[in-house]
Every structure is written in C-alpha cells, then in structure tokens.
Structure 1
Amino acid sequence: MADILGPASAPNATTLRPSEGRNFAALDTWFKDCSSADADDGTDIQANWLNGVIAGLRAVWRGNGVKADGVTPVVAENGTDDYGLLTSVSHLIQRGQPHYGEDTSSTAGVLTATLSPAPAEYKKGMTVAIRAASTCGAGATLNLNGLGAIGIVRPDGSALHDGDIFAGSLNDYRFDGVHFQLLGADAPPIIKRNLTYYVAPAPLGSDANDGTSANASGGHGPFATLQAVVNAVANVNLNGYSITAYVADGTYPVVRLLPTAGSGSVAFISTSGNPSACVIAGVNQSAIQAAYCGSAYSFQGFKVTASGASYGDPIAGVNILGGNAYVVLTNMEYGACVGAHIMCSGSGQVLRLGTQTISGGCSGNLWAQGCHLLANSGALINTQGSALPTLSITAPVVFAGAFAMAQDLAECVAVFASITGAANVTGQKFVANMNGVIFTAASGDSYLPGSIAGVRANGGIYI
C-alpha cells in the first residue's frame, strides 16, 4: 500500500495514526485567523485534524478498490498526482460500484443483493443496477442489504410479465417510494423463452392468479378461464417462442382469440386428453371465437358446445373470421351447437387433425345454416396432406343445413382417414353453392354422412 497525501519523510511523521484526542462541540466548529501577525489568538491546527482530512481523501482513492487481478489499485496510490482526487471520483461514477449488486438468492422472484456502501434506507429516486440470478415475473421483489423486500413493477405500475427479468440479465431499478420500477421494460414485453400456463376451474383456478402454476402456492396458481391466457398472450411479443396452456378437466366459458405480436405459437391442451371432460361452452355466443387473430393458436383435446341466441352471432362451436385468422383443431369433440360445429368466413382458415368426434347436431339460425363444416366467403376448412383426420359420430345427430357446406368461393376439404357412425346423421350430405368447393378426393356423392343427397347450386363444385 503506497502513501497518499502523506507528509512522507518529514520530521516526526508516523505510519500509525495517533488516537483521536479532540472533543467535539454540539455545533460545527471553525478555524479562526490570528488578529495580527504578532498575536497568538488564532486556531491551532492540530495533527488530528490534518490526519482526519488526509484519511477522508485517502478513502476516496481506495474506495475504488482493486482491479480484476485482485492486487492493482484502480487509482494509483500516488500522492504527487494533482488529478488523483478527480480521477478517483470519476472512476466511482464511471464504474458505478456504489449502486451495483448481484442477486444471491436461490429462489426465483426473490432478488437479494448487497451494495457497498450499504444504503441507509430506501430513498425515492434511488437507482440500482442488479444482476438477476433467476428468470422471474409478476410478484418479484428486491431486497437490498436487508432493508426489506420491495415489490418490482413495470414503469407504468403494472405487474411484471414472465421473462421481464431474465436469468443473468443486468437491470436498472428505481425506487418510486413504494415499488422498485424495472426501467426499460419492453412495451409490449418480449418473451425470451417458452412459457407454460395452467387453467383449472374455480375455486382452484382464478383469473386473479398469474397462471404459472397448476397448484395455488406462494402467490401463484392457475387461471380460471382460457380467456385469461389469451389476454396474457396479447400483452407480449412471442418473439419466436411458444406458449402452452394446460387445461384441467371442467367446463369453461367462451374464449375470444386476440391478435398476437411476433412469430410464435399458442397451444391450449387438455391435460387429460379426454375431450368430453374438458368443455368450452358458448352460451348466447360462439364457444371459440377468432377474428383476425393471426396463426398462432391451436386447440387439442376439447369439446365445444354452443346454445342460445344473440343477434349477429352464429352460435357456433368454432367461429373463425378474417384473412389472417388460422386455427388448428386436434382431437376435438363437437357437441350440440346452433349454427355450426366449425364455421369459417372471410378468408379465414381452419386445420383439422387427429380424431374429430361428433356427439351433437346443429339446428341452424339466421346467421348459419346448421352444419358440421360451414365455409363462407373465400374461407378454407382444411386437412394436412396425408395426415387425414378420423371422424367418429357417436350419437344420432341432425344437421338442419348440411353435414358440409361451402359457398361464395369458399372451400371445404371434407376428407377423412375413416368415418364411423355415418348412419347416425340426419340431414343433407353437402351443399356446394355460389362457386363454393367441397373436396372429397373423388370419393363420390355418397361419401359424406347424411340421409339426404347433396346439392350443387350456382356454380358450386363437389369433387
């Protein structure tokens, strides 16, 4: 350790600081000049005072610590450098050490860090830089030097999103008097990994939960509706990642699919894989609604039903609308619906995979003719190459319109790997109308289920 600002080899200098012998008054004390050149009435400058000044200045130098080698001081300990104090202060600001800390907690969402020097209190406006040990989101807290855990929020005061704080990321937090605000939080936030949500019926599930756990524990728990997942997805940029929502058995209300930001996928999967036990029920509206929602969404292992009436709503099991709306349906069951089991309009698209089960019919209304498959206005109801779905009709059903209908330049690909229970269907086999196309891979007019022959009208094509 070198000598900074010391008297060096001056007579009577010492390398050991003498003990403090001054008595301090209740008020600040000051130096006083002698009243004249001959008077001895000025303030004596004692060694202890000079030593205190020197010690304070040395602390500025040495407060920068040492370099990464663990030995070399950041600021050279050279008392002859006129810029030594300026350099020391500049480095303290530049290197940011007084407000930097690293999360030492092993529990995600419980950030714990130590600053040096330790802050006396949380002060409104104070800003710290902390490296996170774990990825976390809503409910995360920050505790500095044991002053207490303070909740972390986004700059607008809203709860964090999963991935706002990413493991290994270095983030700035500013105390607003109540919370630490995560500065620079993405708007909308960009997710940085695949995410998983959970949905379960009340009382276990609640849309007041964060949806990140299948069980209620530690402030986490499943959502109560599929809509809560959609709403959470709508607030983030998928950034090429996937979001999977596992849904426990139960009956759930309508879900309206919202547009997504960024590329990626959103999959709703029945936990049990038993569609009859995991139901999306539309009451006075369609069960699954998708208007201009993009191509991210898929459903696997659900049953849909739709009952009641509402002006302008087909009351369909699945109602897809819009040129960029594309939804994948895998291993689905279709119970009793009013307008259609699957209705696709306005250049929207539906892809059907796996087992497609029909357990209820469609009675029809002013906005839909009562079909299993209904494609309108340039829409496409499709299958995927050779991965054809299988069709099982498990109970007697009636379709007021037709089993399959395509109209107004729409196309319905109605090809199945196998069809069982076809005799359970009452109603027309198909209607191809107004240049609509129904494609059955040249399987003939009698291929589709139904008790009444199909109809071609106004340029409709049945292939």
Structure 2
Amino acid sequence: MRVHFRHGSLQGLENMAQNSFALLTNLGRAKEAAALANGTAIIITHIAIGDGTTVPSGGETSLYNEVARKAISGHGTVIGASNVAYFDIFLAAADGPYTIREAGLYDNAGDLIAIARYDPPISKPVPSSGQTVEGTVRLQVAFSNIANVTIVVDPSFTVPLQRLSRLPWIPVLSMTITVPPASPNVGDVYLVPTGGSGSWAGQSGKIAEYTAAGWAILTPPNGHGISLPDGRVFEKVGGTYIEKIALDNQSGKWNYAVAAGTANAISATLTPAPESVAAGMVIALKIASSNTGAVTLALNGTAARGVTNSSGGSLKAGALRAGQMATMVFNGSSWSLIGVNAAEIPEVVTTMTMYVRPDGNDNNDGRTNTAAGAKLTVAGAIAAFDTVFVSGGAAIIKLGIPGSYAIGTNIGLANGMILGDAADKESYILQSMSTTPSAVLGVVGGRLSVVGVTLRSVHAAIAGLSTSLGAIVSLSNVALNPGVALTSSHIVSAPGCTVTVAEMSYSGTAASCFAASGGSITLSGAQNFNNCVFTSMNAGASAAGQIQVSGAFSVTGTATGPRYSVSTNGVINTRGSGANFFPGTTAGVTSTGGQYV
C-alpha cells in the first residue's frame, strides 16, 4: 500500500487547547527580537522530528526525543496570513520507522526556534512493514516580521512538493485568470499570470494550489511543465512558461537536418536522435551539394537507403540542388522526395551555354568550361537541356577545347547550336561512334546551327548530314570530312526540311554532295571541294526539292563525277551561273520536270 501524507494547519498560535500546534520557543522569540532590532535575519535550515510525548511549553531548547533531522526541502508563506511561514521536509519511503509526536525548527546555529506537537501522532512505517509511506511534513509558524526570516533549502533535495513531487508536468485549470476563484476546491491548481490580484498579488509565474490552509504558492524550477484543459502544454524556460511543444515544432528541430557526406551519398543527423527510422517519418533536409546521379541517405548512422522521386524512380542529376530544402518521407525501405524535384522542373532561361570537353564528365552540370564543370559528350549536354526551358534564345553546346567529341546519331533541339571554332574547325571534331550510322550527324526536327567543326565517322555511314521531321539546319565553317565512304550524300534535305550552308569544305567519296529530296538547300559563301568523288552527281534536286545560291558564293577545288541531276520538279538555281557551276568531270542531267537555271 502506498500512502501519501502532509501535516497541515499547525499555526504558531499559543492556544494550548489545540491538540496539534506549533509555537516559537523562548530562544526563538529572543532571536526574532534581536533580528528585528539589529536588522539581521534568522536563518532557518532544518526540521527535526521526534517521538517525545511531553506537551511543549516554549521553554524547550531541543526536542524531547529526536529521531531524525533533515534539511528543509520547501517553504513559503500562507496566503492571507502574511506573517505566517510554512516549512517542509520530505520523508522518503525508506525513512523510519517513526511515530512522529513532535517537530522542531532549527536555525544555522543549531538553536531550536519553534516546536510543534502532533496529536494524534503520525505513523511513518517503512516498506518492510508492508506499507510504503512517503510525503511531506509541514510546520506553519507565525513571526512578527517574516522579512527577518531567511530559509536555507537543501540543495540536494530532488523530490518536488505536493503534486509537483509526483508530476514534473502537472495539469492546471488556467494560466490567464488573475483573480483567485471565490470558491475553489482543495487541490485546484493555477498558474498565476502577470497582474494577479488578491491572494495572488505579486506571485506572477508561480503555481497556486488551493489547500486546506488556503492558497499555497510554489516556485517551480526551470524545466517544469504544465498542461491546460484544452490540451496545450507549457514548459518553464528561463523563468517563463512557454508553449514548448508548439515552439519546438515551429523551430524545426524535430525533423530538420543539414546534409553531410557527399552529393550522392548523403548522411544527416537529427537532434535529438530518433529511436528508429520508421515508416512515415518525415525529414526536412538542407542540401549541401547538387547531386550528379542516384542518391542514398544514411540518417543518424543507420544504413544508407535510396532516395527516389515521388514516383519511385532514381533521382536524376540536379534533382537536389545546393542550398535547397528537400522534404522526404520514409516508406519503410527508401526515402521518397515529396513533390516535384528540381530535375523534373525545366529551368527557364533566355539562352544557355552547356560546355563539353574530352576531359569532362557527363555527371558535371556543364555550366563552366573546366574539366570539373563540363560535360563529356554532346549527348550528355543535350540530356541536360531536358531540364531547361530556353525561352526565345538558343541552347548552345560549346566545345570547350580542341579534340574529338562523340555524338549520337540523331539530335533534336528546339533551337540549338553546336559551336567549335570557326577559325580552327579542323581541331574540333564531331565524331559518330555508331557502328551502323545513318548519318554522321542526324537532325530530327527543331532547329540546329553547327559552327566551326569537322564532321567525321568511325564506321561506314550513309550520309554526312541527314534531316527529318521539318528540321532547320545551318552549317557554317564546317568541314565534311567523314573519313569513310558515304553511300548517300554529304548533305541530305528531306521533305519539309531546310539546310543553309556557308563557308564549307568537303572531302572523300559519296553518292553526291547535295541532295535536296523534297527539302531545300541554300548555298552561300565559299565552298571548297578537296578532290571529292561523287558517284551519282555533285548536286541533286528531286521530288520538288530545291538547291539555290544566295548572296556571295564561290567554288574552289575539284570533284569527280556528274555535276548535277535535277528531276521530278526539282529545281537547282545557280542564278544563271551556267551548267559548269558545280565541280565535276561530266555534264549534269535534267529530267521529268526538273529545272536547272
């Protein structure tokens, strides 16, 4: 059985008719008078308890039979009786066994200041007796001037008083009422707000508990908590009760962490550390470095788990950006980003340059012309443009340094440019690595300008440049030197496609140099033929295709084969430059509605 007790209402009234009472001793009176006269203080430090049966008279200097003495654990004043102080000691379950019939209040000199009688006595058994009893013994003593009494509380005392002794977080009825209720119930507890009046005047920030003796005022330590009937909880921090849970939540400490580790193998630490990483856990992670590929996260030293997009797929490069706040939820096996990630939202720019270098890396972001910043391949740069919306300008792929650059068979950009060096095109080589390429460079729809490069293929190819799906292509200062024989043409313009050619050079063997098969080819600037061999013709226009000369135009070099072939309503317009305009060794041919002018 566990029993809690607290002796109460033993006031310092010398009414000997009372069975239980407390009074100042003669020595206590003398010390109080001296303190009043000299402006000093009585320093109260201990309470002794005893089992003596003699009724106190005030002349005592010690208890009749002291059985225990303990440092004071709590104190206060009785509301409504400003000169009455109460003093507490706490008796733990192991203290005893005692039969408490008397108690004494001692000062720092060891003198008995007040003595009390308990009738009926208080029994304090120990657990071995079959009863577990612990609680507070309280003495209330009247002084002439409470200001001259100093109480020293046991600094090692760790069991709080009354209801605080059992609950470091206690319920209170209100923390906004400033006037003490007129008819409270014993045990009602309030937090006294600023502006308290009546019995609560001057007690702001303290706990007021209604007892049989009136309002007891307690001063809890920092860290003590209270809860209101509406469910809100407050904790005392820096002397003030604050809505701690709400503030903690607002602070983000519960789920906020800063990414550490590497860009793709992230580690993070929540403080305080979670007991486990459970399904449904949500974290807010500040990203330190942009990812370059798939990502894992190890939280508070747990095993690294994959991070996916909201659809469950691996993250693409740039999904997490440096400085970004990323919110993730754990699904039991991996972390899932909440919402659309950065790699899924095109970046809106007017013009963007993506650098490519032979010493680059397709995991780089391509924004700088360095080995650590540039892409490795043209295909890698094009893939990066998938995350960019270029509004009104061009998506520029800049070849950063001289060298050979691998290209895919087909390129499709809304408005793109591949830029080498117009003054040194032989040093910037776009090279098809495909084993069965349809063309060294194939453009599928969109618009593409190619400047200052050499087009070459490692394996046999059909064409140098092929077009489809209405592609619009501009070639300037480009060398078509495939390095292999072409079974088709250097330049093919398919139906609905447009190719503009300026400042070009051609080498090697092909069926033809220009083939406008339903599309158009416009020639301008200097065109140089380096001993080319054309098995079908130099220039061919068919199926209403057109080849025309525009602006300043010149032809140098030599070629072997027919000069031209125009048929099926195709048109070759040399602006009257004659049948020998295109280099070749045999005459051109016009048939089935074709026109050569």
TM-score computed with the length of structure 2 as normaliser: 0.51
Structure 1 residues 16-55: aligned runs within 5 Å: 47=160, 50=164, 53-55=167-169
Q: Whose Rg is larger?
A: 2
Amino acid at match of 2:309: R
Deviates more, 1:402-411 or 1:45-54: 45-54
Structure 1 residues 43-442: aligned runs within 5 Å: 47=160, 50=164, 53-55=167-169, 82-83=229-230, 85=232, 91=246, 95=250, 97-98=252-253, 100-101=255-256, 103=258, 115-120=270-275, 122-132=277-287, 135-138=290-293, 152-155=307-310, 158-175=313-330, 180-185=335-340, 189-192=344-347, 194=352, 196=354, 198-200=356-358, 210=363, 212=365, 223=376, 226-230=378-382, 232-233=383-384, 236=387, 238=389, 240=391, 242=395, 244=397, 246=399, 255-257=408-410, 259=412, 265=416, 267=418, 269=420, 273-275=424-426, 278-281=429-432, 283-290=435-442, 293-305=444-456, 315-323=462-470, 325-335=471-481, 336-353=485-502, 355-362=503-510, 370-377=511-518, 379-382=519-522, 388-393=524-529, 395-415=530-550, 417-422=552-557, 424-442=558-576
Q: Which runs of 5+ in 1 are unaligned?
A: 1-8, 13-17, 24-39, 62-76, 363-369
Match for residue 582 of structure 2?
448
Amino acid at match of 2:450: F
Contact 1:254 1:287 in 2 (8 A): no
Q: Distance in 2 between matches of 1:56 and 1:462?
A: 102
Shift of 1:246: 3.0
SS in structure 1 at match of 2:232: helix
Amino acid at match of 2:517: N
Q: Distance in 1 between matches of 2:340 and 2:422?
A: 33
Distance 1:258 1:276, change over 3 A: closer
Amino acid at match of 1:198: V
Shift of 1:249: 5.4
In angstroms, what is the RMSD of aligned CA positions? 4.9
Amino acid at match of 2:336: Q
Q: Distance in 1 between matches of 2:406 and 2:259?
A: 43
Deviates more, 1:245-254 or 1:130-139: 245-254
Shift of 1:222: 5.1
Contact 1:266 1:298 in 2 (8 A): yes
Shift of 1:337: 2.4
Q: Distance in 2 between matches of 1:90 and 1:421?
A: 84
Q: Distance in 2 between matches of 1:462 and 1:52?
A: 107
Q: Distance in 1 between matches of 2:320 and 2:306?
A: 13
Contact 2:263 2:289 in 1 (8 A): yes
Contact 1:254 1:286 in 2 (8 A): no
Amino acid at match of 2:526: T
Amino acid at match of 1:346: P
Q: Which runs of 5+ in 2 are unaligned?
A: 1-75, 80-88, 95-129, 136-158, 176-223, 235-242
Distance 1:382 1:239, change over 3 A: same
Q: Distance in 1 between matches of 2:355 and 2:280?
A: 35
Shift of 1:271: 11
Distance 1:297 1:118, change over 3 A: farther
Q: Distance in 2 between matches of 1:449 and 1:376?
A: 20
Contact 1:317 1:334 in 2 (8 A): yes
Distance 1:131 1:350, change over 3 A: farther
Contact 2:254 2:271 in 1 (8 A): yes
Contact 1:190 1:238 in 2 (8 A): no
Contact 1:286 1:318 in 2 (8 A): no
Alignment: residue pair count: 386
Amino acid at match of 1:413: Q
Contact 2:293 2:315 in 1 (8 A): yes
Shift of 1:454: 3.3
Distance 1:82 1:346, change over 3 A: same
Q: Distance in 2 between matches of 1:413 and 1:56?
A: 93
Amino acid at match of 1:360: G
Q: Distance in 1 between matches of 2:477 and 2:166?
A: 80
* Deviation by residue 1:94-138 (Cα, 9 ceiling, x = unmatched): 748245536477986686766444435544542212344554442
Contact 1:99 1:127 in 2 (8 A): no
Contact 2:525 2:554 in 1 (8 A): no
Structure with the largest fraction of strand: 2
Contact 2:407 2:430 in 1 (8 A): no
Distance 1:22 1:227, change over 3 A: farther
